[in-house]
Amino acid sequence: MKQDTAAKTMITTAVVFMGFALAFGLLVALKYIYPNIGNIEYLSAPRMRMWHTNSILYGWLLPAQMGILLYVIPRILHTKLFSETLGVVTGLIYFGSIIAGLIGILLGNVKNIEYGEIGSPYDYLVILSWVLFGINIIATILKRKVKYLYVSVWYALGSVIWTFFVMVTGHIFTQMVAGVNQANLNWFYVHNVVGLIFTPLGVAGAYYLIPKELNTPIYSHKLSMIGFWVISFVYVWTGAHHMMAGPSPDWLETVASVFSFSLLIPVIAVITNFLGTFATASKQNRFKGPVTKFLMGGTIYYLLTCIQGPMQAIPALNVIISKNDWIVGHAHMALLGAFSFFAIAGVYYVIPKIAGRPLYNTKLADQSFWIMLIASVPFFSSLFISGVIQGNMWLDPENTFVQTLMVTKKWHVIRALSGAFIIYAYSLFVHIVIMTLIGKGDMNQEITEEVSS
């Protein structure tokens, strides 16, 4: 099979899936303003929320990151991917089970696990496809032609192992326990989907793309290793910060709060490294096209999210901002602002290389960045403001959920409007990716092809 077929399959399917997922996000956002929109059973708000979250996380973000790594890891290791055929088969099983799982959600085959709602047997198939992906990555590392492992490879390897345990915990172990224990495992799962799946995969990609696109070495290899090892020790302890002021034991909440704070160490290491590399790059390379812009935007949002995270674990603040719109804002800043920006940068970088021609239109791609960036500010802020209003109202048990919805309505209007602009930016993104693949090259721009074998 032709080189990079696996990467191309994962990435293009993910990009198309993103549109599908965003449309359902907008539908739910509109239901907050006009509750009667799409008033039929199958389009009910809970179903559509699960469609949005599961398809954006597992239809867009994860496969996009997997596809980018399938391209990047062989380049770093100066070898070919272990098996393109295995990669494509993995993609087919993976997307097949996500699509079947989503249809299952409509029909009521749902697990009571947030972010893990996809029912059996499709959840097992997702785990299986992850194992196949892991085999491909590990086998490529084993047949590498270089001695030392660059930090992206460490993160990819860590993620291959961690993701397996995170998925098994979320999809299988949670089904063996009940009550507080189940909630604890559920939040271990939710938090680690972000921290031990999307973070290492996103950071792995960015650690390759930033120096490559800016044409300068990474700022500090030592710092990158410190960041990696601290993340691997600290992250698993923090999930219980989602259950503060809930029925879990006090000691567990204290441990979660303390470890949440220690997350600042790896974050500072990663951010210093990324911004340090930007600072040492030549001025004309620094913001020369859509890839660097999305990388820079993602880095800033990663920093903001990770300052927010530990603060949210302070008990006095947690009472106000937990379990309401604030957390939805936090989740979007992390998964849209930081990791989807990194993933979009990766797609804009990889697709021209795979297609063997320049990006269809760099100016339009720059525009997709600016629209998405500008729209993301009111999108996140409206949710933060609405969350603080809700949190304060809930301090008085007399206030009902519906009352809080009425008070926060104008913020939900802003969220839906800015969401529509994000979807517009996405339509430019998908257009550029498709045009680049089918061969409508922009003649104004030249890229240097780099294909190592």
Select the residue whose beta carbon is closest to ligand HEM and give its number. Answer: 419
Q: Which residues fall within 8 angstroms of residue 402, CB to CB, at 6 or more apart? A: none
Helix, strand and coil in the chain, % to nearest 5: 80, 0, 20
Q: Quick check: 419 binds ligand HEM (CB under 6 A)? A: yes
Q: Is the previous residue joined to 121 through a cis bond, with omega within 30 degrees of 0? A: yes
Residues 296-355 interacting with ligand HEM (rule: CB under 6 A): 327-328, 331-332, 335-336, 340
43 near ligand HEM, judged by CB under 6 A = no
Q: What minimum distance in Å lies between the beta carbon of 41 and ligand HEM?
A: 19
* Residue 327 binds which of Fe ion, ligand HEM, none (CB < 5-8 A, kind-dependent): ligand HEM
- CA pair distance 65, 197, nearest whole angstrom: 10
Of 20-28, 254-262, 279-287, 386-394, the window that binds ligand HEM (rule: CB under 6 A) is: 20-28
| Angle subtended at Cα 398 by Cα 395 and Cα 400, rounded to the nearest 5 degrees | 90
Between residues 219 and 301, which has the closer beta carbon with respect to ligand HEM? Answer: 301
Distance CA 419, CA 434 (A): 23
* Span of 53-61, 228-236, 262-270, 361-369 interacting with ligand HEM by CB under 6 A: 53-61
Min separation Cβ 260 and Fe ion, Å: 8
| Nearer Cβ to Fe ion (47/191) | 191
49 sits near ligand HEM (criterion: CB under 6 A): yes
- Which residue stretch of 1-9, 24-32, 266-274, 352-360 sits at the interface with ligand HEM (rule: CB under 6 A)? 24-32
The CB-nearest residue to Fe ion is 191
Nearer to ligand HEM, 227 or 309 (CB): 309
Residue closer to ligand HEM by CB (options 132, 388) is 388
Which of 56, 156, 196, 347 is the binder for ligand HEM (CB under 6 A)?
A: 56
Cα–Cα nearest to 305, from 267, 278, 275, 340: 267
Nearest residue to 419 (alpha-carbon basis) of 371, 385, 386, 387: 371
Q: How far is the CB of 384 from Fe ion (least distance, A)?
A: 16
105 binds ligand HEM (CB under 6 A): no
* Shortest Å distance, C-beta 251 to Fe ion: 18
Rounded to whole angstroms, the Cα distance separating 13 from 87 reads: 13
* Site for ligand HEM contains 26 (CB under 6 A): yes
In whole angstroms, the minimum distance from the beta carbon of 118 to ligand HEM comes to 14
Closest CA to 111 of 156, 169, 150, 60: 169
- Alpha carbon distance 75, 69 (integer Å): 10
Number of residues that bind ligand HEM (CB under 6 A): 22
When CB distances are held under 5 to 8 angstroms depending on the partner's kind, the choice from ligand HEM, Fe ion, none that residue 191 binds is Fe ion
**Per CB under 5 A, 191 contacts Fe ion:** yes
Q: How many CA atoms lie less than 13 Å away from 416 in the CB half-sphere?
A: 16
Enumerate long-range contacts of 401-410, CB under 8 Å, 24 or more apart.
404/324, 405/32, 408/325, 409/32, 409/33
Tokens matching residue 451: 């294909």
One-character DSSP codes across 313-372: TSHHHHHHHTTSHHHHHHHHIIIIIIIIHHHHHHHHHHHHHHHTS--S-HHHHHHHHHHH
Among 350, 422, 433, 437, binds ligand HEM (CB under 6 A): 422
Which among 16-24, 184-192, 280-288, 337-345 is the span making contact with Fe ion, rule CB under 5 A?
A: 184-192
Tally of CB atoms within 10 A around 19: 16
Least Å from the CB of residue 206 to ligand HEM:
16
Residues near Fe ion, by CB under 5 A = 191
Query: Which spans of this chain sit near ligand HEM (rule: CB under 6 A)?
Result: 22, 25-26, 28-29, 49, 52-53, 56-57, 61, 327-328, 331-332, 335-336, 340, 416, 419, 422-423
